[in-house]
Chains A and B, each alone.
Chain A
Amino acid sequence: MADMIFRVNMSDLSTTLEDVPADWAGHGGRGLTSTIIAAEVPPTCHPLGPNNKLVIAPGLLSGTAAANSGRISCGAKSPLTGTIKESNAGGTSAQALAKMGCKALIIEGEPKDDTWYTLRLTSEGVTIEKEEELIGKGNFAVVDALEKRNTESIGVISIGQCGEMQMASANISIKDPDSHFRSCGRGGLGAVMGSKKIKAIALDAGDNKVEIADIDAFRAANKIFAKALVDHPVSQALGTYGSNVLVNIINESGGFPTRNFTQGQYEDHEQISGETMHDIIVERGGKPKHGCHKGCVIQCSQIYNDAKGKYKTSGMEYESIWGLGADCTVNNLDDIAEMDSIMDDIGIDSIETAVAFAVAMDGGLLDFGDANEMIRILRDEIGKGTPLGRVIGSGAGNVGRTYGVTRVPVVKNQGIPAYDPRAIKGIGITYATSTQGADHTMGYTIATEILAVGGKADPLSKEGQVELSRNLQIATAAIDSTGMCLFIAFAALDDGACLPALIDMLNARFGIALTADDVTNLGMSILKTEHAFNLAAGFTNKDDRLPEFFSLEPIPPHNAVWDFTDDEIDTFWDF
């Protein structure tokens, strides 16, 4: 069975199955969502209007036995940034889509009235059903109901109340193997799904399996690949402490943004660190090590229980803990876990919302460190869509404009995450030049600047940073197309066997003969496609800049400022 494009038109409620155009065949994940959006979405359209499209695609290797290959990509024009956007997550949906032969799901148009719908996908195609029961409900209730209507193993892609209300920070939630959530968090794609009046998508792959052109070669390559991942010390640390292992090292480096980016170190870092979190989890009978999808051999996720040993949340990432913790100066992991759980339920990006809260604190709306008020606002204002809730739920830039704050850490209106670009300069180049607004995952220079993985670069020097960011952004665009979790990159940067094995798996899956150069070229062409979309949407090189305060306000302890010239930044696109 050949893979097909599943297309849904929400204006006339029609669905079609289409052959995959030859130009799209070599793409998956981010490469495919961006290619389709560039081909079919007018760059100047309103992100929440009928001309935007939501494209959901599994990676090239998703649905196979390849280790860590279960990432799903959601793409659209972003209501937060106005740029092209791809946001990916784990969970079970990528595998379900790939197994049912869905190369990509394209959702276009918009219903003319206020009727809501649920989609159901099988290998036969898409059915559209009216939805009443789940409107106004959070993600946990949605998954519960869809599992009851179908089977417990059903894949679910859904939006919470924030997506229904089309808030610019709303995320798309992806069910994980324990019926909890992973999030396509960044860029407000949940609002796009809400604008199409789709509350949830149920995925039933049945007994279908992904076809592999050369299964023996595939298995052999996967063995080498999985071993490279398992053996790498970074993977082992991720399995023990989660990505939150970064709190202490980023804090030590002086690039840990604290109190809305006014300090580079947080005095209470130890209380929110990965080490402390690990001890709390173990003490309360949770799981420090947990995979967001079947086949993950790194398992950076975790199950975090409350003080009574009852499940509270899972998959807390370093960036969420940094944002709610250091940036808002909340020094209690239980408070952070409570907020993480509410955000999973109402469906809002934990990075954008944390940065928005810190800006709100700077603007005097609430006190720094007031976790109770943050929890109240999340539940009673953002979750209910009050005017205040909508102000905060539409992102850090929106809060800054509303409250007259000048210290607003955003690029292209998207909140800057967990690494200060004054003290860790390479990541600033990634924030500035990324095709999707500030996003550390687009070109994770931290690996080289701070963690000494894949070479070394001095984080306080401008030397070599543009090139470093460029190379990583190109490689990341390619990895984001395979369905691989980005955490394979640590092994890929260090272990010479890892990347060739990944390419061998791609070749064995599709019966093709890609080389390492082809993969680099794929990454470059994805970046150029995305960049061209943004230029056509009205962006210029002047948008590839960090906010002014980074040049004006030195950040202690290094008292560094952002000092790249415009010309230096613009050399990023010389390729």
Chain B
Amino acid sequence: MQVQVKLFAFFREGRFIKEDRELANGTTAGEVVDSLDIDREEVGVLMLNSKHCQFETILQDGDVYAIFPVIGGG
């Protein structure tokens, strides 16, 4: 299945901004984080199709998946 993966802030360094990835059925959000060599501890927010999700969430074909480090502002 195809999932669009988007990275933000310093997660982009040495990686990418946006990429369509071919993933095995049943891949979880956390497994994508691991495959990108991103430390789960550094992850602040995961969003799937503009809604918050968890490391355990199973991705579906056509999903848009965004990975943010811990950030803030206001």
Q: Interface size of B by Cβ–Cβ distance < 8 Å?
A: 21
A356 to B31, CA, bound (A): 45
Q: Are B8 and A451 in contact (CB under 8 A)?
A: no
Q: Are B73 and A242 in contact (CB under 8 A)?
A: yes
A238 to B44, CA, bound (A): 14
Name the residue of chain B whose CB is nearest to the CB of A453: B72
Name the residue of chain A whose CB is nearest to the CB of B42: A233
A70 to B48, CA, bound (A): 39
Instruction: For residue B35, give the distance in angstroms from its CB to the closest CB of chain A.
Output: 21
Residue A274 at the chain B interface, CB threshold 8 Å = yes
A385 to B6, CA, bound (A): 46
Q: Are A237 and B69 in contact (CB under 8 A)?
A: yes
Q: Are A238 and B73 in contact (CB under 8 A)?
A: yes
Instruction: Say yes or no: A487-B72 contact (C-beta < 8 A), given A233-B44, A253-B50.
Output: yes
Instruction: For residue B41, give the distance in angstroms from its CB to the closest CB of chain A.
Output: 9
Instruction: Say yes or no: A444-B74 contact (C-beta < 8 A), given A248-B8, A275-B9.
Output: yes
Q: B69 contacts which chain A residues (CB < 8 A)? A: 233, 237
Name the residue of chain B whose CB is nearest to the CB of A450: B45
Residue B59 at the chain A interface, CB threshold 8 Å = no
Instruction: Say yes or no: A487-B66 contact (C-beta < 8 A), given A274-B9, A456-B52, A460-B51.
Output: no
Name the residue of chain A whose CB is nearest to the CB of B74: A444
Q: B36 contacts which chain A residues (CB < 8 A)? A: none
A65 to B68, CA, bound (A): 34
Instruction: For residue A53, give the distance in angstroms from its CB to the closest CB of chain B.
Output: 29
A444 to B66, CA, bound (A): 23
Q: B72 contacts which chain A residues (CB < 8 A)? A: 234, 237-238, 245-246, 447, 451, 453, 487, 490
Q: B10 contacts which chain A residues (CB < 8 A)? A: 237, 240
Q: Are A451 and B50 in contact (CB under 8 A)?
A: no
Q: For A253, give its contact among B9, B47, B73 (CB under 8 Å).
A: B47
Interface size class of A (residues with CB under 8 A): 35 or more
Instruction: For residue A514, give the distance in angstroms from its CB to the closest CB of chain B.
Output: 25
Q: Are A245 and B50 in contact (CB under 8 A)?
A: no
Residue A123 at the chain B interface, CB threshold 8 Å = no
A441 to B74, CA, bound (A): 7
Residue A244 at the chain B interface, CB threshold 8 Å = yes
Q: B45 contacts which chain A residues (CB < 8 A)? A: 249, 450-452
Q: Are B71 and A451 in contact (CB under 8 A)?
A: yes
Name the residue of chain B whose CB is nearest to the CB of A494: B70
Residue A252 at the chain B interface, CB threshold 8 Å = yes
Name the residue of chain B whose CB is nearest to the CB of A246: B73
Name the residue of chain B whose CB is nearest to the CB of A247: B73
Residue A562 at the chain B interface, CB threshold 8 Å = no
Q: A460 contacts which chain B residues (CB < 8 A)? A: 51
A254 to B51, CA, bound (A): 8
Beta-carbon contacts of A268-312 to B below 8 Å, as 1s and 0s? 001000110000000000000000000000001000000000000
Instruction: Say yes or no: A245-B73 contact (C-beta < 8 A), given A253-B50, A275-B9.
Output: yes
Q: Are B9 and A245 in contact (CB under 8 A)?
A: yes
Instruction: For residue A114, give the distance in angstroms from its CB to the closest CB of chain B.
Output: 40
Q: B73 contacts which chain A residues (CB < 8 A)? A: 238, 242-246, 300, 318, 487
Q: Taking beta carbons and an 8 Å cutoff, which residues of B are in contact with A?
A: 6, 8-10, 12, 17, 42, 44-45, 47, 50-52, 66, 68-74
Q: Taking beta carbons and an 8 Å cutoff, which residues of A are in contact with B?
A: 233-234, 237-238, 240-246, 248-249, 252-254, 265, 270, 274-275, 300, 318, 440-441, 444, 446-447, 450-453, 456, 458-460, 486-487, 490, 557-558
Besides A246-B74, A248-B68, A459-B52, 17 new A-B residue pairs in contact (Cβ under 8 A), listed by A number: A233-B42, A233-B70, A237-B69, A237-B71, A241-B9, A242-B73, A245-B9, A245-B73, A246-B73, A249-B8, A252-B47, A252-B50, A253-B47, A270-B17, A318-B74, A444-B74, A558-B50
